[in-house]
Structure 1
Amino acid sequence: MRLRPAVGLTAAGLIAVLGLPVPVAAAEVTTLYVGAGTGCSDTGTGTRAVPYCTIGAAAEAVEPGQTVRIAPGRYPEQVTITRSGTPGHPITFRGEDPGRPGKVSEVVVGTSVPGPTIAMKGVHDVVVGSMRLRSTEGAVAVTDSSAVTVDRMFASGPEKTPTTTPAVALSGATSDVTISRNSFVSTGGVLVGAGARRTLVTTNEIDGSAEAAIRVVDAPGTAVTHNTLSGNRGPGTVLAGGSGDAVLKNNVFSSNGADAAWSGLELSVSEASTRGTAADYNSVHGSGQAAYLWAGARHTLAAFTDATGQGAHDTDVTVDFPGSHSTYSPLYEGSPAIDSADPSAPGALGTDLLGLPALDDPKVANTGPQGGVRDRGAYEFQGLHQVEADPDLNQGPYPLTVNTTVRTDESWGAPLSYTYDFGDGTPPVVTTESELAHTFTAKGDYAILVTATDSLGRRLASVPASEGAYQARISVRDPGPLTAALAVAAPGPNLERTFDTSGSTSPWKITKYTLDPGDGTPAESSIFEGFGHVYAEPGTYTATLTVTDQAGRTASATAGVTAAYTPAGFVPVPPKRLLDTREPMMGRPWPLGPGESRVIGMDAPAGATAGVVNVTATNAGTDTHIDVRPWKGRPTGTSNLNVGPGQTVANLVTVPLDSNGGYFEISNNAGAVDVIIDFFGYYEPDAADRFTPLTPVRLLDTRQGGAKVGPGASVPLQVTGAGGVPAGAHAVVLNVTATEPTDTGYLAVRPSGQDGRPSTSNLNFRPGQTVPNQVIVPLGADGKVEIFNNSGATHVVADVAGYYGADGKGLFTPVTPVRLQDTRTAGGPVPAYGSRSVQAGGAAGVPADAVAGVFNLTVTGAGADGHVIGHPDGSAVPGTSSVNFTAGGTASDHAQLPLGANGRIDLVNRSAGGMHLITDLFGYFTNA
């Protein structure tokens, strides 16, 4: 059942429906005003011009017969009422009338401080109504008071953990209190405490109470009538102690007693409370369980009537509430609650909880006594229960002709007439037509209000303009052109850009915004302002916005867009395996097929610009190459590693990430191949560790007086303090080479201090091979790494190429992978012991002040075994290696190399034969 909030009630309405005496002639001051905000004063007299700021200030000044009128707003206070009215001249506190049935008052009162929001003690002749109350310990507390009315209040607690404190609590020598037309949700319900006399609880809705909805304890003469009580953890109503002479009539009980201790119990009356108590004309649905507890015995409906003589006209049926309904009519047509109540029950008010009158439903037989037309529960069903005004235009230049269509929900078949008020000062139009055209001739904002009247005299208005998105509002503007405006907002993560189109204007409503991002992707259309777009690669683009208005006109605007990655520091992580297609997926291996791509996620946060992974290919069915690129990125014409049948090849890859961080894509060119991916770190704009490139220095060569690393063994390598790596470094860039291995196996490089066999690898080898790979790995706490050999025995060589630490300056910017050099298509092969210079700075978007680059070097068609040495142009050739190759083979290696002052690197062929050399760029470093 959907919860329905209560509404406000005027003081005059209260006097009429509650039978209060009519006041005598007005005093000099009949109304005190409260309005939080500028221009108020608690030291004044509460006039309309200068109202009180707080309700408490008005409570200290109000006199019998006066009304405290509270303007919409928030009042963070707890109000204590200590002044009283007189019989026929009550003091009244009420919120501003909310304007229509079903609308909750916008007067919000209360604080998070423990204690009731409104407290009364020792007072009489007081009316409080039409407010939203918030409190951690109840909404209203009445003690030792009389002739008090609490009407049309709304209070709610937390839905998942309702408070057990009553929303309204009566205590002490309290008498003749009326609790009417309130809506309490997830509260402690209503408590009529010991000592209270002649309390009327009528026409309330109480849902989701942590206790019984209504608890009456040692309080005789209580009348509980016309309430809708549902979904409460305790029974709908409990009469405990000595609470006799009570009346329980015309209520709807549904789905109460949810807690196991109550188990579907709806009505509980103690033995002492049965004396003089009458229960009848209630709808009590116990979900198949005994819903009554009377004098200690549980009963179903039939047994209850037979045993007690009570409930002769009760019904055990479900009073459903539609899942979607207008707030004007919570019941549905044909409900058993309609026209079935006892009109003589105490406290039968003139209107229901929503302020609607009782009407005779012509489709339902009147089953209440005396042919009454009252419905059971807190709501009265209305045949006319929804009116909507739907103009075909809501904006345009004058003169603007608007056709308004009225849609109604009217279930009784009564003829309707309509009163159209267009809000522009023209006289209202009364007609039986449900569609009417009207021409607005002057600039302004207008609200269309349509009131429908049926033949029974029932009147219902459409939603007024004060109620936000559902209003029928017309904006009439000066005639003028349609203009488009496009601006680029602050950059989002990575290559995401946000466009601001809010500057586009037209006197007509703009019906469509179409953005061409300028990168060849399809244009994006929306009926709303603003776009976000993720570019596939860095660059400068021209975006075009086209707008269309309701008159069919179009206009366009352009804006230049620069999509670029933010320079970033490095975050090393302990090596972690992300993918191994050799592991069964759904019971079978899952190799990468010919032309197949796969999206891989890594543990990198949103905003990370690039990831560092080691990619290994094995079990290839044919010669192929693997491409690693940003997710949804276009193929770049570059490659990261080449592999053939019977080979296992590994290579380090630095790959740009998608704008959400953590995702990239791999693709296989031909055949089927298994792929293993290990994760070593990521670049993030706010990361503290920055790169310092070093002229490569050899840190380890077990061939120089050392023994090979045996199977299952590790060789420790001290990195800090050697080769220019300082003690504060957190990660290191190494070129690691396995040479002269005796068996097929792999090397794994990891921080020192790790236990067990590593779960990742960095390079793979076969007997007699020389295999290099670059490694980026965190350092252990002692500044060391360890190099683990899986099988056989092999010599190990390690060269340091740079490090990451807080003292570094280099920030990394990825680029869409680009080929800088391919001697197969230009320049011819590199001769034996020859070299080639490659321009990186100033090429492919790399700035001239870049200090290092991230490359992939591939050697193919070599005439003899050898290696390539990469170093900054203009520096001495170091005794290290970047790529090792064999005659006739193809070998690739990741190379993170410093740039010369001219932005170039030199690549030296250290072999007795010529070879082809391919150089791909993946990013660059600049100094912060």
Structure 2
Amino acid sequence: MRLRPAVAATAAALAAVLGMPPPAAFAADPATVLYVAGKSASCSDSGQGSQAAPFCTIAAAAAVVLPGQTVRIAPGSYPEQVDVRRSGTPGHPIRFVGEWTAGWTNTTPRVSVMGSHWPTDQPLTHAFTLTGVHDVELRELYLESKEEAVTVTDSSAVTLDRLFVHGEFGGQTGGVSVSGASSDVTVSRNQILHGNGVTIGAGVLRAVVTTNDIGNSRTGIAVTDAPGTVVTGNTVTRSEDSGIVLAGASTGAVVENNVLVRNAAAGHPGTAQLDVGAGSVTGTKADYNLVADEGDGGYRWAGTAYRLPAFRAATGQGAHDIAETGNTIGGPVPSLPREGSPAIDSGDPSAPGLPDTDQSGRPVIDDPKVPNAPGGGVRDRGAYERYGMDYVSLFTDVSQGPYPLTVKAQAGFRNDWTSDQPTTYTFDFGDGSAPVTSTESTVPHTYTAKGEHQVTVTVTDGFGQRLTSLGDAYGAYGARVSVRDPAPVKAALWPTNPAGDFRFDLLAGQSSSPWPIKSYAFDFGDGSPVQTNTYSSASHLYAAPGTYTASLTVTDSAGRTDRTTAKVTPGFAPAGFVPVAPKRVYDTRDPANDPGASGNQPFRPGERREIKAGIPAGATAAVVNITATGATTATHLDTSTIGGAAAGQTSSINIGPGETVANLVTVPITSSGDTRNLGLKNHDGTVHVVIDLYGYYLPQSADGYAPTPATRIADTRQTGAKLGPGASLPLKVAGSAGVPSGAKAVALNLTATEPTAAGFLAARPGGQSGRPATSSLNFAPGRTVANQVIVPLGPDGTVEVYNNDGSTHVIADVIGYYGADAKGRFTAVLPVRLQDTRNAPYQALDPGAETTVGIGGTGQVPANAVAGVVNLTAVAPRADGHVIAYPDLGPVPTTSNLNFRAGQTVANHAQVPLGTNGAIRLRNNSGGALDLITDLYGYFTTG
């Protein structure tokens, strides 16, 4: 089983715990340095690689570098495979050197060479290949690759030092490989994580693998037919196979001071922490290792598995080895010895190949809590020296302000060791002033000039431990101080309205003060509460169109304030119509048609859902037919905008218990990222919901709307023949009833009356066959039901009405059409209630009574509007009847818009032309009084 825990032992984690200082830059005369800076605007691969005109790629520098020159690589990602084919000379090597961050939390290489993985279409496999070269060094680089990150072939005097090597994300190969007739190659102080570890191949002589941290690899260090290999001071953990393997004729090896724990020895026959094959035992020395002695044994020697006592007795090796049984490796960093670990101060200081410093660049130190090794050795086993002081922090009470600026820098540290000698703190304030050394952990400093300053502190304890806080480039924890010119606080407000609707983003990013701004108070100018943020932006959904004066008040940390204003004008853009063949987009009864993933469940009381209906970005409104069925109590559904700004203020469909009711709705849509969703909320009880899409409004669409005088084009009562089950009624629309031949879609008011059974009518483009997958209105036996439909015309200019069950009379009234010659552009509004006769100053309509509803010029709708889109709801009528909606001051038509029966609360969508006074008139055409509600969803203009 492959181990894939999170890589806690990253360079970032090591920085936080060990406080690794960046390695000292190589001393080099400017003439001996070639510069690479892939992000520089002045870079060129055809240049000379100067600091002013660096190379863009590392490969370009590798092609011309000479002995004694250093290729200095600027921070960034380099998606390339660098093939090194040039050599240095003894004492004058060629060096490829990156940079390390100076951060208290992220001391890692800042140069990433991505041999593959990014960009993904590059057919690269390695980060670096060194072939047939000598006297070459790679240092301080982050390397990621699909295959081995570094391959060294037929080369000598090569050093790979302080590299961070990672397999391609997903656990690909990675690692370091030395092969062919290579000799005297040193692989030192690297972190190698995921994929392969270090592979020393057949024919390689005198390789040195030392002080590396290798984790989550397949085999940590694998040596095959490579005599004289030195493997010292490495920490190998979490390998999938053995920790260290000497195979073939790898004779005369030295394996000392290594830490081998938590590798896949336990339960994996044929593996071990240390595995030396029969052909490699001659002249090989294994000692001073810390080995997890578990499973079949921590050791395999010449093919036989041993635990430590038996290993010593049988081989004479491992006289100073220690069996690790107490999980003593894995402190704050998983590969670091815990305090008291037997790995501390117990290594062989004379082991060959060991560098002067550990993997993190810190010198050897004596742990006062641990007895030293025989002979007085204080070298720790493994890649890391255990320091008592493993963390230094730095804070400043002020991170930004005008000069003269006085700050207090406060240092903190964690130390497992105690000393009678005082701890000293050396503060460098980064402005060229002399460092300040004190025994106090808090020191003041005054900056007298403008500048960006990195503050660091070096803590030295009584044992001589020194650890430096390396300030974060982003100013975390006050390690960076920005000193600015004195200036007043200034507020700046920039409204943006990217979706062109009612949602505005108010941005204050250019507000300024030499002091930090601590609060941004946004007043949207519409009476909504002031929004006070600690960040410089706010988003607001306006409830109505208009022009508002938004304001911003900023307050800086010195208590100074400034205020500014800006005008915002929310509202939807006028849009044309895009009809679609009717399609079902949502059905809570059917999981296959439930994009909301509600689990085939009805709406619960008060529940609101965002419904994905396939509406494209940029649409301002959708035209949908909503069918509610199976309600457990009387309820209504609200269609509302994203965020529910209009939910509960209006209603779109009303339903009684056990009924099935449909209603066409034009749903305004506000922006939600790149999506356009429908908001739907249930008021009470539970109810299933079905939604069919008929089209949407899009500003780019050329097809406008033209209202026509309500014209009846079908009434089967006049012929005496009802529409039977499974039958369709063709309606010739184009070329009649005021609809031109080039029309794209038609708006109809459709009525079913005197049905013999429960069923539904479905309006669809003419020329289709079979049972439709959508519905337009639902009816019960003997009841009259009306609903508006907007449906595309078939190729022959017809619409057909399909009846699914029983027999029913069908009435169809044309009220308008859509097409390129129609001038009406639809502007959506956030749904608003215009009139409710249940509330003063209105009153219920008596039989034959009328009411006027003003729409144009009301503040919601401009005076040049020609038609309104409303939802009409009849509430508790005292008798059966219908409502007629028509332009105010115009003649009363013979058609109907809303049919109801006594006691029923029912709604219907209506697109009603406006009278010359911008109003519509509503007539109660029944034998009893009723209450009437009018909700506005949008309007048409022809300007």
Q: Same fold (TM over 0.5)?
A: yes
Of residues 161, 168, 172 in structure 2, which corresponds to 1:158? 168
Tell me if structure 1 keeps the 8 A contact 2:67–2:93.
yes
User: What secondary structure, in the 3-state scheme, does the structure 2 residue paired with 1:502 have?
Assistant: coil
AA partner of residue 750 (structure 2): V
Q: Offset at 1:567?
A: 3.7
Residue 937 of structure 2 corresponds to which residue in structure 1? 922
Q: Offset at 1:171?
A: 2.3
1:195 corresponds to 2:209? no
1:346 corresponds to 2:349? no
Mapping of 1:352-367 within 5 angstroms? 352-366=358-372
Structure 1 pair 513/287, CA: closer, same or farther in 2 (3 Å)? farther
Structure 1 pair 419/220, CA: closer, same or farther in 2 (3 Å)? same
Q: Cα deviations across residues 178-230 of structure 1 (Å, max 9, x unaligned)?
A: 11112233343322121111111111223333x42322221111111222223
Deviates more, 1:647-656 or 1:730-739: 647-656
User: What secondary structure, in the 3-state scheme, does the structure 1 residue paired with 2:385 have?
Assistant: coil
1:544 corresponds to 2:554? no
Residue 704 of structure 1 corresponds to which residue in structure 2? 718
Structure 1 pair 185/689, CA: closer, same or farther in 2 (3 Å)? farther
Q: Distance in 2 between matches of 1:404 and 1:827?
A: 71
Structure 1 pair 835/360, CA: closer, same or farther in 2 (3 Å)? same
Deviates more, 1:196-205 or 1:539-548: 539-548
Q: Cα deviations across residues 463-489 of structure 1 (Å, max 9, x unaligned)?
A: 146566466122223334333332212
AA partner of residue 214 (structure 2): I
AA partner of residue 192 (structure 2): F
1:452 corresponds to 2:459? yes
1:425 corresponds to 2:432? yes
Residue 897 of structure 2 corresponds to which residue in structure 1? 882
Mapping of 1:380-391 within 5 angstroms? 380-391=385-396
AA partner of residue 846 (structure 1): V
Structure 1 pair 861/406, CA: closer, same or farther in 2 (3 Å)? closer
AA partner of residue 584 (structure 2): P
Residue 411 of structure 2 corresponds to which residue in structure 1? 406
Q: Offset at 1:810?
A: 4.5
User: What secondary structure, in the 3-state scheme, does the structure 2 residue paired with 1:703 have?
Assistant: helix
Unaligned stretches of 5+ residues in structure 2: 1-6, 12-19, 116-121
User: What secondary structure, in the 3-state scheme, does the structure 2 residue paired with 1:186 have?
Assistant: strand
Of residues 128, 134, 149 in structure 2, which corresponds to 1:124? 134
Mapping of 1:575-586 within 5 angstroms? 575-579=584-588
Give RMSD over aligned pairs.
4.4
Q: Offset at 1:417?
A: 0.1
Q: With structure 1 as the length reference, what TM-score do the two structures score?
A: 0.84
Tell me if structure 2 keeps the 8 A contact 1:688–1:805.
no
Q: Offset at 1:381?
A: 1.7
Aligned pair count reads 903
Residue 863 of structure 2 corresponds to which residue in structure 1? 848
AA partner of residue 194 (structure 1): A
Q: Cα deviations across residues 55-93 of structure 1 (Å, max 9, x unaligned)?
A: 666656666555555555666665554554444454444
Q: Distance in 2 between matches of 1:677 and 1:454?
A: 74
Mapping of 1:622-701 within 5 angstroms? 627-630=638-641, 631-633=643-645, 638-641=650-653, 649-657=661-669, 659-660=671-672, 661-668=676-683, 674=687, 676-681=689-694, 683=696, 685=698, 688=701, 690-695=703-708, 696-701=710-715
Structure 1 pair 436/861, CA: closer, same or farther in 2 (3 Å)? closer
AA partner of residue 850 (structure 1): A
Deviates more, 1:741-750 or 1:268-277: 741-750
Q: Distance in 2 between matches of 1:374 and 1:419?
A: 28
Tell me if structure 2 keeps the 8 A contact 1:700–1:797.
yes
Residue 505 of structure 2 corresponds to which residue in structure 1? 498
Q: Distance in 1 between matches of 2:883 and 2:209?
A: 93
AA partner of residue 246 (structure 1): A
Q: Distance in 2 between matches of 1:427 and 1:833?
A: 96
Q: Cα deviations across residues 729-756 of structure 1 (Å, max 9, x unaligned)?
A: 7654331111122345444445679898
Q: Offset at 1:507?
A: 2.4
Q: Offset at 1:520?
A: 4.0
Deviates more, 1:292-301 or 1:458-467: 292-301
AA partner of residue 808 (structure 2): T
Q: Offset at 1:360?
A: 1.5
AA partner of residue 893 (structure 1): N
Structure 1 pair 466/637, CA: closer, same or farther in 2 (3 Å)? closer
Q: Offset at 1:663?
A: 4.1
Tell me if structure 1 keeps the 8 A contact 2:265–2:297.
no
1:179 corresponds to 2:187? yes
Residue 4 of structure 2 corresponds to which residue in structure 1? none
Q: Distance in 2 between matches of 1:189 and 1:648?
A: 68
Q: Distance in 1 between matches of 2:24 and 2:446?
A: 37
Q: With structure 2 as the length reference, what TM-score do the two structures score?
A: 0.83
1:337 corresponds to 2:343? yes
Residue 104 of structure 1 corresponds to which residue in structure 2? 108
Tell me if structure 2 keeps the 8 A contact 1:7–1:104.
no
Structure 1 pair 650/307, CA: closer, same or farther in 2 (3 Å)? same
Of residues 730, 738, 749 in structure 2, which corresponds to 1:735? 749
1:252 corresponds to 2:248? no
Q: Distance in 1 between matches of 2:622 and 2:814?
A: 20
Of residues 443, 446, 449 in structure 2, which corresponds to 1:439? 446
AA partner of residue 432 (structure 1): T
Q: Cα deviations across residues 1-30 of structure 1 (Å, max 9, x unaligned)?
A: 5133499756879xxxxxxxxxxxx9x998
Q: Distance in 1 between matches of 2:192 and 2:505?
A: 45
Q: Offset at 1:890?
A: 5.6
Q: Cα deviations across residues 294-327 of structure 1 (Å, max 9, x unaligned)?
A: 43344555655555444451424475776866x9
Structure 1 pair 193/767, CA: closer, same or farther in 2 (3 Å)? closer
What percent of counterpart residues are identical?
A: 50
AA partner of residue 693 (structure 2): F
Residue 281 of structure 2 corresponds to which residue in structure 1? 274
Q: Offset at 1:633?
A: 2.8
User: What secondary structure, in the 3-state scheme, does the structure 2 residue paired with 1:919 have?
Assistant: strand
Tell me if structure 2 keeps the 8 A contact 1:280–1:314.
no
User: What secondary structure, in the 3-state scheme, does the structure 2 residue paired with 1:704 have?
Assistant: helix
Tell me if structure 2 keeps the 8 A contact 1:577–1:760.
no
Deviates more, 1:646-655 or 1:486-495: 646-655
AA partner of residue 108 (structure 2): V
1:34 corresponds to 2:35? yes
User: What secondary structure, in the 3-state scheme, does the structure 2 residue paired with 1:272 have?
Assistant: helix
User: What secondary structure, in the 3-state scheme, does the structure 2 residue paired with 1:176 have?
Assistant: strand
Q: Distance in 2 between matches of 1:813 and 1:287?
A: 76
Structure 1 pair 867/41, CA: closer, same or farther in 2 (3 Å)? closer
1:813 corresponds to 2:824? no
Q: Distance in 2 between matches of 1:726 and 1:616?
A: 31
AA partner of residue 749 (structure 2): N
Tell me if structure 1 keeps the 8 A contact 2:81–2:124.
no
Residue 892 of structure 1 corresponds to which residue in structure 2? 907
Q: Distance in 1 between matches of 2:285 and 2:59?
A: 41
AA partner of residue 392 (structure 2): V
1:508 corresponds to 2:521? no
Structure 1 pair 725/377, CA: closer, same or farther in 2 (3 Å)? farther
Mapping of 1:525-604 within 5 angstroms? 525-568=532-575, 569-570=577-578, 572=580, 573-579=582-588, 596=606, 598-599=608-609, 601-604=611-614
Deviates more, 1:880-889 or 1:505-514: 880-889
Q: Distance in 1 between matches of 2:145 and 2:607?
A: 58
Structure 1 pair 4/810, CA: closer, same or farther in 2 (3 Å)? same
Tell me if structure 2 keeps the 8 A contact 1:537–1:633.
no
Q: Distance in 2 between matches of 1:881 and 1:686?
A: 31
Unaligned stretches of 5+ residues in structure 1: 14-25
Residue 205 of structure 1 corresponds to which residue in structure 2? 213
Structure 1 pair 159/626, CA: closer, same or farther in 2 (3 Å)? closer
Of residues 853, 857, 867 in structure 1, which corresponds to 2:872? 857
User: What secondary structure, in the 3-state scheme, does the structure 1 residue paired with 2:375 have?
Assistant: helix
1:461 corresponds to 2:468? yes
Structure 1 pair 883/664, CA: closer, same or farther in 2 (3 Å)? same
